[in-house]
Amino acid sequence: MARRKCRLKAMVNEADPDLPPLHRHSVVHYQQRTDWDCGISCVMMMLTRRQRQDFLRNFNRVCEEEGFGNSTWTIDLCYLLRRFDIRHIYTTITVGVNPTFRNHDYYGPILWKDHIRVSNKFDSATCDGLNIQKRTVDNRILLKHLAENGPVIVLTNGYLLHCDLCKTKESECLEEFRKCFSINKPKTKFSGHYIVLCGYDNRIGSVFYRNPAMDDHVCVMSYRKLTEARTANGTDEDLIFVFRKS
């Protein structure tokens, strides 16, 4: 436990002093429509208006062609971004399917049907032009990318997400979150949930993010809260760094 705390502390480092103290990307919000499409909704936020309209018109066909049905993994999101010619880099601490997920309360029930498909996509990723890097990323790298390149799609434990702006109405936010995921009494303390980091304010040590489970507004969370949510057991520290065209 002590080693885990030291590692988290190291990952919460502040931004490079040469970076702007404040930076924020304009991201068009897209609210998820079901209990499984938070990742797809984050991809929607990366698309142009025309690309999004095209995706929505052909939604069922695209999902069928990509092969993920109603269960998306981070590698699926990368293939969607590739489909729309959006440059990105995928970092993770596990390239492939984490074998420990077989005993995970959240992943266990879906792993039996997803294992082969997801493994095949990882095996084909390099040949298909995807850039996957096995490494841990600290907050300095996240903030540098936000300042210089574009947003970041982040896999988190949804139960650990926090918004400083919503704290005066936490009960409403929690109720909206549970309603979206059809959750009444959680059986597990983990729920994989994707968000979009769209900026930061290094003066107060916080990031701006879009939560597809919520309505159209920007949430704010401290670096420490972000680190706890994105490095929780079950996330594999999955990050998709999106490069916006200049």
CA distance 217 to 172: 14
For residues 45 and 196, is the Cβ–Cβ distance under 8 A? yes
9-52 tens-digit pLDDT: 556 555 677 889 999 999 999 999 988 899 999 999 999 999 99
Band (pLDDT 50/70/90 cuts) for residue 7 is low
Band (pLDDT 50/70/90 cuts) for residue 170 is very low
Strands 192-201 and 22-24: antiparallel
**pLDDT score for 12:** 58
Could you tell me which residue, 105 or 37, shows the higher pLDDT?
Answer: 37
pTM, two decimals, is 0.89
**pLDDT score for 39:** 97
Band (pLDDT 50/70/90 cuts) for residue 228 is very high
Instruction: Count CA atoms closer than 13 A to 69's CA, side-chain side.
Output: 6
Domain range enclosing 189: 35-242
Residue 30 lies in a domain: no
The number of beta carbons lying within 10 Å of the beta carbon of residue 196 is 26
Residue 4 lies in a domain: no
For residues 236 and 226, is the Cβ–Cβ distance under 8 A? no
Band (pLDDT 50/70/90 cuts) for residue 171 is very low
Q: Which of 148, 145, 152 is nearest to 27 (CA)?
A: 152
Residue 154 lies in a domain: yes
Looking at residue 83, its amino acid is: R
Residue 103 is part of a domain; what is its CATH number? Answer: 3.90.70
Question: Does residue 209 surpass a pLDDT of 80?
Answer: yes
For residues 68 and 83, is the Cβ–Cβ distance under 8 A? no
Residue 133 lies in a domain: yes
Q: Which of 137, 147, 204 is nearest to 25 (CA)?
A: 147
